[in-house]
């Protein structure tokens, strides 16, 4: 459902239970906070109406994930693939960044994107990679507006969106007389095509294409009109499937057999079907909400969640379109401020905090995280098995070291569970290295929250990270008089 929930049905009941049980007033007090209420309420809705209703499905998912899709979507709060394509938990491994961009293979600069692709294709053996662009993309807007003199206004955003510079150049050259608005719309699709060709630079992707075990798909979601376009990138681009067809509702056929043929493909069917469910049950039912969202997004949350197909915050916390700007990477890790290595994470934080003015950053870990597992298993001799994954998960090395030192006698499983939470805390402290975050904390306009979703038990933990400097003690005090 896309409508904004205002119901706080669970909160009064939870307060009672918490008071009765452990009488923890400090926990009860936190439930007054609207952001805490939103998360607690969302999770309780998910738990009671979904998780507890389908023990068979969730037992299966807790064993392993077998997603057929890797999806690259924009962080924009209005484009969650869990909603727009009706992807259910377990169906899609998801990476979200500004502009849904895939840079070319680069171990030094883009280990996060590389880690997602390597893990999804080599380890999970997904059958499809879908790069999904969208209308009115702020990332593409910024790309199209970048001045020609190389000057920048953002620390990270400008550098990150320049990945799609070849798409901009092509669009400007081919359509010099179009309005900037129209050039942007074309560039949203061109940037998807560029990302699709960049995918070819990853050896796992090339191997999958050669073996015909992997398909590369482009998509474009128009949230103004409620339309979706889907195409496939082979060595050539197939004709585009437009959903709904322009003669949708009439009995005319446009007789495009090549498009009709593509609908036989189960992956195409899944996307077309998912979008049509979203369009008819949600988009068309709430024109007021979607008109408002088409004008601008005002999410209150920036959420870092793992790419794992079982942890989509749209489902687990019942975040609706427009409510959360979303970053998804392996292990939900936030590296410290680093313009040279991590411009994508930096771009999401900078854009969400400085431009969108989100009020909360939630870093959400989860049970049985493959990223944390790999971190815990990394050999001490520095040897690596993966091109990207090992390098990326090492961001959380301080958390691993801490857990190993504090809990030397715990089983590897239990150490990993501790580390899932420690890595969240490390990411929360790394957030402090971003000046926008520091400023938000100082002005009390931003809260940093940690979370942990246990998909085995259907439990969620939530805490806040407060970094407070106490008033300075000056010694000796100014009124000190030596006698």
CB 262 within 8 A of CB 232: yes
Question: Does 134 belong to an annotated binding site?
Answer: yes
- 112 is a site residue for Zn ion (CB under 5 A): no
420 touches Zn ion by CB under 5 A = no
Q: Is 72 helix (H, G, I), strand (E, B) or coil?
A: strand
Angle of helix 10-21 relative to helix 34-49, nearest 10 degrees, comes to: 100
One residue of 112, 118, 155, 308 binding Zn ion per CB under 5 A: 308
Q: Rounded to the nearest whole angstrom, what is the least distance from the CB of residue 475 to Zn ion in the complex?
A: 47
Q: How far is residue 226's CA from residue 275's CA, in Å, rounded to a whole number?
A: 9
Size of the site for Zn ion (CB under 5 A): 8
CB 114 within 8 A of CB 106: yes
Contact pick of 76, 86, 91, 390 for Zn ion (by CB under 5 A): 76
Nearest to 99 by CA among 193, 191, 220: 191
Minimum CB distance to Zn ion, residue 70 (Å): 14
x-marked contacts with Zn ion along 357-396 as a string, rule CB under 5 A: ------------x-x-------------------------
Q: Report how far residue 74's alpha carbon sits from residue 96's, in angstroms, rounded to the nearest whole number.
A: 5
Stretch of residues binding Zn ion (CB under 5 A), selected from 75-83, 103-111, 149-157, 269-277: 75-83
Using CA atoms, how far residue 271 sits from 82, 83, 148, 192, 450, in Å, is 11, 12, 38, 17, 33
Tell me the three state secondary structure of residue 265: coil
| Euclidean distance between CA atoms 470 and 464, whole angstroms | 18
Q: Is 352 in the site for Zn ion (CB under 5 A)?
A: no
Window 127-156: contact mask with Zn ion (x via CB under 5 A): ----------x-x-----------------
**Smallest separation, CB 308 to Zn ion (Å):** 4
424 within 8 A of 441, measured Cβ to Cβ: no
Q: Least distance in Å: CB of 140 to Zn ion?
A: 7
Whichever of 185 and 369 has its CB closer to Zn ion, that residue is: 369
- Decide: is 74 part of the binding site for Zn ion (CB under 5 A): yes
Among 40, 214, 305, 306, binds Zn ion (CB under 5 A): 306
CB nearer to Zn ion: pick between 308 and 318: 308
Minimum distance from residue 421 beta carbon to Zn ion (Å): 13
CB of 224 to Zn ion, least distance (A): 13
Give the three-state DSSP class for 435: helix
- Specify the residue, 423 or 447, whose C-beta has the smaller distance to Zn ion: 423
Distance CA 197, CA 159 (A): 20
Does residue 137 have a known ligand-binding role?
yes
> 449 and 467 in contact (C-beta within 8 Å)?
no
Query: Is the Cβ of residue 36 or residue 139 nearer to Zn ion in the bound state?
Result: 139
Secondary structure of residue 306 in the 3-state scheme? strand
Q: Least distance in Å: CB of 239 to Zn ion?
A: 25
Q: Where are the alpha helices (DSSP H) in 211-356?
A: 257-262, 266-281, 287-295, 313-316, 343-350
Tokens of 250: 């009439």
Phi, psi of 365 (to 5 degrees): -85, 180
* Contact criterion met (CB below 8 Å) for 320 and 5: yes
Binding residues for Zn(2+): 74, 76, 134, 137
- Which residues are near Zn ion by CB under 5 A? 74, 76, 137, 139, 306, 308, 369, 371
Binding residues: 74, 76, 134, 137
């Amino acid at each position: 459902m896309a409508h904004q929930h205002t119901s706080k049905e669970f909160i009064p009941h939870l307060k009672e239970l918490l008071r009765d049980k452990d009488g923890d007033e400090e926990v009860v007090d936190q439930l007054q906070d609207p952001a805490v209420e939103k998360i607690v309420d969302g999770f309780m809705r998910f738990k009671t109406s979904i998780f507890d209703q389908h023990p068979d499905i969730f037992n299966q998912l807790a064993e392993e994930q077998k997603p057929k899709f890797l999806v690259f979507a924009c962080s924009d709060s209005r484009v969650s693939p869990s909603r727009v394509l009706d992807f259910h938990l377990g169906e899609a491994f998801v990476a979200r960044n500004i502009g849904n961009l895939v840079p070319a293979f680069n171990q030094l600069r883009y280990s996060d994107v590389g880690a997602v692709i390597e893990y999804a294709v080599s380890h999970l053996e997904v059958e499809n990679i879908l790069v999904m662009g969208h209308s009115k993309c702020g990332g593409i807007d910024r790309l199209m507006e970048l001045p020609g003199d190389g000057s920048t206004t953002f620390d990270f955003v400008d550098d990150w969106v320049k990945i799609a510079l070849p798409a901009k150049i092509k669009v400007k050259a081919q359509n010099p007389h179009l309005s900037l608005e129209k050039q942007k719309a074309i560039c949203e699709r061109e940037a998807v095509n560029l990302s699709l060709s960049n995918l070819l630079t990853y050896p796992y992707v090339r191997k999958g294409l050669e073996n015909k075990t992997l398909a590369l798909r482009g998509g474009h979601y128009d949230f103004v009109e409620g339309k979706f376009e889907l195409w496939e990138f082979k060595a050539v681009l197939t004709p585009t499937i437009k959903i709904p067809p322009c003669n949708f509702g009439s009995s005319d056929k446009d007789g495009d057999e090549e498009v009709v043929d593509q609908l036989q493909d189960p992956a195409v069917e899944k996307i077309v079907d998912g979008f049509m469910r979203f369009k008819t049950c949600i988009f068309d039912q709430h024109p007021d909400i979607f008109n408002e969202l088409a004008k601008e997004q005002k999410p209150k949350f920036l959420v870092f969640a793992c790419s794992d197909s079982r942890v989509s915050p749209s489902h687990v916390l019942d975040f609706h379109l427009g409510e959360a700007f979303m970053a998804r990477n392996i292990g939900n890790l936030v590296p410290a401020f680093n313009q040279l290595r991590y411009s994508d994470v930096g771009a999401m934080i900078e854009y969400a905090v400085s431009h969108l003015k989100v009020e909360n950053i939630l870093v959400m870990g989860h049970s049985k995280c493959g990223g944390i597992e790999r971190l815990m298993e990394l050999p001490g001799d520095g040897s690596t098995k993966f091109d990207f994954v090992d390098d990326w998960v090492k961001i959380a090395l301080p958390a691993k070291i801490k857990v190993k030192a504090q809990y030397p006698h715990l089983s590897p499983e239990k150490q990993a569970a501790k580390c899932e939470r420690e890595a969240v805390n490390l990411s929360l402290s790394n957030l402090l290295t971003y000046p926008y975050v520091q400023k938000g904390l100082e002005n009390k306009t931003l809260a940093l929250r940690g979370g942990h979703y246990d998909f085995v038990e259907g439990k969620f933990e939530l805490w806040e990270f407060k970094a407070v400097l106490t008033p300075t003690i000056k010694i000796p005090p100014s009124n000190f008089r030596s006698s």
